[in-house]
Amino acid sequence: MIRDLSWIDPLYLLFALRWTVLLTLLALLGGAPIGLLVAALGRATKRPARLVSRGYIGLVQGVPLLAWLFLFFFGFPIFGIDVPAWLAATCAFSVYSGAFLGEIWLGALLSIPRTQWEASASIGMSYVEQLRHVIIPQALRIAIPPTVGFVMQLIKNTSLAAVIGFVELTREGQMTAAATLAQLSVYLMVGALYFALCYPLTTYSRYLEHKLHAAR
């Protein structure tokens, strides 16, 4: 049934935005530990550990995100495991985030000159102490811009979760546009909400980058 666009439709879109935010946070919560492990293995001295890191990054980045969503949502029921849409989306986005964050953070670690490692080792620091006091503070300055850039990409990629029945901002926009035939107005509101979510992240990233560089 076709109806007119009303004042309540922007509220529906705003309510749907919370699921976009929640899915992004869950993906980061699950992906960050994976990313740290991938980065740590990629910087390890043992070749097998580095191969595992590179293999994980290559595998995940080489498979479309939609395929991971389908794998978790449609794959587990084959074995009798019923997976809700939100859980399948969280798992898929966590796996996806872990690979990209791991590559970003590994690149930041590898960009630190070897002399920094050697100098910190020469004064008796352990590997963990080297990371904590010398390497990570320097790598953090390098990693912030691409990490925030990936988070914004992740926010927009959550729209793909609609294919397994997860209703977030874009899916709600599609349903509203179909019900009202006011496609231009609806998608302008959807775009404005994405902008309102992503722009503060960009601004805060620039502030952090400036602050950390100023502290050098």
- CATH number, domain with residue 141: 1.10.3720.10
Q: What is the pLDDT of residue 71?
A: 92
Q: How many CA atoms lie within 13 A of 2 on its CB side?
A: 3
31, 94 contact by CB (below 8 A): yes
Structure tokens at 156: 């927009």
pLDDT at residue 214 in the model: 43
174 belongs to a structural domain: yes
- What span, in angstroms and rounded, lies between the C-alpha atoms of 205 and 39? 21
- What's residue 188's pLDDT? 94
In a domain, 29, yes or no: yes
- Residue 153's domain comprises 8-214
Structural tokens at position 9: 């439709």
What pLDDT, on the 0 to 100 scale, is given for residue 215? Answer: 44
Does residue 21 sit within a domain?
yes
What pLDDT does residue 183 have? 87
Sign of CA dihedral 198, 204, 209, 210: positive
Q: Domain total for the chain?
A: 1
For residue 154, being part of any structural domain is answered with yes
Rounded to whole angstroms, the Cα distance separating 21 from 24 reads 5
Question: Which pLDDT belongs to residue 17?
Answer: 93
Asked whether residue 2 is assigned to any structural domain, the reply reads: no
Domain assignment present for residue 38? The answer is yes
Residues of the chain with pLDDT under 50: 214-215
Residue 1 lies in a domain: no
Tell me what pLDDT residue 130 has.
Answer: 81
List the structure tokens of 193: 């909400």
Q: pLDDT at position 63, please?
A: 93
Average pLDDT, the chain: 88
